[in-house]
A and B are shown apart, each in its own frame.
Chain A
């Protein structure tokens, strides 16, 4: 093939989905000459599945991306149609923001941001090969014959790579949403010795808004006031769209059951592993035969389209069956389907082949993100994209990788889970995966990460100043509440009104706030001297005071956890030569190459005794190299 040298870059990003966009922006913002490819520029920041950003765990990721200077939160704040804080009946650690997105607007706004970004070029072209010489990335080759040199590549191919769509018994090569797949790249990667595997996911049908019967469904509205995703926005005002709730019934289930054999899922055509948490409707009915109904949400796809998304009903059944079962559902009897539900299978890598910095261990200069790493979800993709971009940039700068640990961020949990434990299905973040979730809250993502983003050169001066102000305000307000005193008499009326037991002796306002019946808001009547503060400051103040005890408990556990995270293992450790390690541990350690003893301890098959052996071995090495006794 002809090789036309068309440019020299530091980093090439393959893919312009949620991972690709964050990766490209991160590199460019860190001053790296970056080129981003997409098979079709109309696919930039495309949401081929649900029209929403955030949710439990995912909302936390978006906040963290924002704190580090990423784009997702800013972009959804510009383009959401409805916003809700989930889980407000539960504790502050699991409050999670979720917003319905205007898909078209989301794409357009992100595209504008990319187009205006200095150091970043965008190309509509298909990368068909990554040029690797002696294990070092040299450049990329495209379908048109163009060749671009670069020292690092970020792969963020999503479901495009080896994409194959299934609808009933028909299947065909395709990227998501009818776009062209990336087949050649998949083949050349394999030819270069990379082993790929197949995962699958699915999406439900879209139908026209005018054809639903809203009388038969329950309306679900957004929150007022709106809580913004980005720490850059103190408040947002918008007319919000509604979503609608309805249920399947026995008739729906009968139709699906009768047609099981016509589903790609049961017909044995699909090789890919699908996620447990995101089953198709036929899967749900197959696995939970006792359930009388399943819930679905009808969500708008955007302001300038009539299309509605039928959440909860992904399927790979044939179109006639889809039409028939959708029509059994109250409110959906007469819907006109514009796009049928489909399942899609794609190529991805075993993330255990990656470092915690998301670098592919076998080739120098290759970084990976998103569904290619076996994850699922826009937010998971964006988080990895950001980290892969940062680390590609740092690789160019000759700096060590930037890694967040499990006690610092959901991003750390996500990546550590992927690279240390691996995954056998598309991986989705959940708050239950984070062992330090009381500390990893969405309200304090900025406190946890802005400073780091600033050091990396991703956080703008404006954002940094805003953060410093918030941090100072939070500290000041906590100090004020801790030092403001209230007597039993002053508190009496208020305590009675909220149904609490009277104070026995005077206490600080902070102590008063710790009572379950007291909130920062209702305490106002006895707190005359309070300053006017924005909601996000109040949130963090209230959480930190109310949950001080629990947070302190987690902090102690984190301190313990860090001790082992700080024991670094050399990259070139020869595990086969370490006496005393069991064979399974040797193999696992050799394959996964943990960067710390802490990471090693989380590898399945590495026992506590193996960890002891590692500690002794580390000490031995340190002494052999003339290290000083502590």
Chain B
């Protein structure tokens, strides 16, 4: 029964779609948020334009655009530079960008335009960056709609706007159905049904305190929400696999100076099919290298590339390094086996999350002074490999460990060894950004509910999160929320005078 508009605002559409069209719906408050879309027709044209409109247009542009000539952007003037992922530091495209202050723009709002290379891949990546940084994908006709609501168009044009909006209902409805693989909708429906069952029990317990019904315990709620959470986690994991297969696994190499970071990077690059990036100007001077490990695209960042001469301990405190570790999917942490753990190593280790770290004890040919016991204390459960980059020992293990990490344990087991077969065995790969966002949202809500259960929070508070998660999942499978909660209440429980 929640406010439908609340959901609308949160809905993001699939940047994979040429028009930015989505199954979502527009914000009823034009101008209250910032929207973006690819505004050139799909195809292999020379350039593609991304338009960003709304109060945060300038902020968003400056988050991802690095002009070659430093300094603030001039209003209404094209500037040359690069689109750079602010989190990983990866260069995405070489572009011309312009910021135009409202109201002298098409929508009368602050507007940014990015003229990039026409290939779909860089455009989509740029668009995905904007969405990640907080923009919402525009609905078809939304720029025009905003232009009208902001007084830019005359009345006769308004009629056209309404036609565009109404046309998108049918399209988005059919899109909602076709974008779903049977596997995904089946799983989402199943989890949604489980959530509904929990909500039904909550509702009955709240609204029928005097009835002869089983008292709902926190244990039961905890079990139910845990199951839903792990179901969603599995789906998100497949979403993660999907994302990794699409965007690459982000791996960062970390360690003290002279521990062998550059050698490791070179070794990994040698052993793999190096990918020549399709983005011009990013091959040589980049701090990132893309490679392909057993079919898994990997984006390798060598912190050595930035900071090898500096004190790593201090460098970790620097936001850039810390950021790249934080945003990486996986950190390869190098230790010098001959020297053992130093104080610097310990400081670095404490910053790391064991579940997304692989420790490689290098230079094993010169002995191994590293206390695994100590490692285990600082990074409980972390995976530790021993080898020598120079001699090439342990490198296969490392490669396999990275691939296994990319696929997740279950995926790898199912795959035997080949990631392609892993995908066949697990057809539910969530590649749609909107679905991923909703799944993530639903999972967060369920985890919130779980936390509230552990705090013994009141049922009606727990139900708030359960309801949100239920509605999010409903948006994925395109089911209308109606009387289903109460219908279930009365069909499952015998209630009343």
Give B371 Cβ to nearest chain A Cβ, in Å: 33
Structural contact, B212 and A247, CB atoms closer than 8 A: yes
Give B25 Cβ to nearest chain A Cβ, in Å: 4
Structural contact, B168 and A91, CB atoms closer than 8 A: no
* Best-buried of B161, B211, B494 by chain A (most CB within 10 Å): B494
Q: Which residues of B contact A314 (CB under 8 A)?
A: 497
> With the chains together, A16 CA to B149 CA distance in Å?
51
Structural contact, A613 and B166, CB atoms closer than 8 A: yes
With A435-B2, A616-B145 as given contacts, are A278 and B496 in contact (CB-CB < 8 Å)?
A: yes
With A277-B490, A620-B158 as given contacts, are A609 and B28 in contact (CB-CB < 8 Å)?
A: no
With A277-B495, A284-B494 as given contacts, are A91 and B166 in contact (CB-CB < 8 Å)?
A: no
With A86-B209, A431-B207, A557-B6 as given contacts, are A94 and B151 in contact (CB-CB < 8 Å)?
A: no
> With the chains together, A79 CA to B487 CA distance in Å?
36
Interface size band for B: 35 or more
Interface of B: prevailing SS: helix
With A91-B461, A612-B26, A619-B149 as given contacts, are A607 and B497 in contact (CB-CB < 8 Å)?
A: no
Q: Mark A309-323, 1 if CB is under 8 A from B, else 0.
A: 001111000000000
A624: interface (CB < 8 Å): yes
Partner of B4, one of A87, A96, A276, A601: A601
> With the chains together, A275 CA to B486 CA distance in Å?
12
Q: Mark B447-466, 1 if CB is under 8 A from A, else 0.
A: 00000000111111101100
Q: Which residues of B contact A208 (CB under 8 A)?
A: none
With A516-B456, A561-B5, A608-B8 as given contacts, are A56 and B207 in contact (CB-CB < 8 Å)?
A: yes
Q: Which residues of A contact B489 (CB under 8 A)?
A: 432
Give B33 Cβ to nearest chain A Cβ, in Å: 12
A629: interface (CB < 8 Å): yes
> With the chains together, A53 CA to B456 CA distance in Å?
30
B29: interface (CB < 8 Å): yes
A145: interface (CB < 8 Å): no
Structural contact, B25 and A608, CB atoms closer than 8 A: yes
B343: interface (CB < 8 Å): no
Q: Which residues of A contact B206 (CB under 8 A)?
A: 56, 87, 90, 94, 431-432
Structural contact, B165 and A579, CB atoms closer than 8 A: no
Partner of A609, one of B159, B169, B459, B497: B169
Give A283 Cβ to nearest chain B Cβ, in Å: 9
> With the chains together, A297 CA to B212 CA distance in Å?
11
Structural contact, B162 and A438, CB atoms closer than 8 A: no
A564: interface (CB < 8 Å): yes
Partner of A311, one of B4, B149, B497: B497
Interface size band for A: 35 or more
Q: Which residues of B contact A432 (CB under 8 A)?
A: 1, 203, 206-207, 463, 485-486, 489
Q: Which residues of A contact B148 (CB under 8 A)?
A: 616, 619
Q: Which residues of A contact B6 (CB under 8 A)?
A: 557, 560-561
Q: Which residues of B contact A435 (CB under 8 A)?
A: 1-3
Give A409 Cβ to nearest chain B Cβ, in Å: 16
> With the chains together, A435 CA to B471 CA distance in Å?
13
> With the chains together, A275 CA to B169 CA distance in Å?
35
Structural contact, A275 and B496, CB atoms closer than 8 A: yes
> With the chains together, A561 CA to B6 CA distance in Å?
8
Give A48 Cβ to nearest chain B Cβ, in Å: 13
Partner of A563, one of B1, B29, B460, B464: B29
Structural contact, B26 and A608, CB atoms closer than 8 A: yes
Give A580 Cβ to nearest chain B Cβ, in Å: 3
Q: Which residues of B contact A437 (CB under 8 A)?
A: 460
With A430-B203, A557-B6, A564-B28 as given contacts, are A609 and B1 in contact (CB-CB < 8 Å)?
A: no
20 examples of A-B residue contacts, CB within 8 angstroms: A57-B207, A90-B458, A91-B459, A276-B486, A278-B497, A279-B496, A284-B494, A284-B496, A291-B494, A430-B486, A435-B3, A438-B464, A557-B6, A560-B5, A561-B5, A579-B159, A604-B480, A609-B168, A612-B145, A616-B148
3 nearest interchain CB pairs?
A91-B458, A580-B162, A608-B25
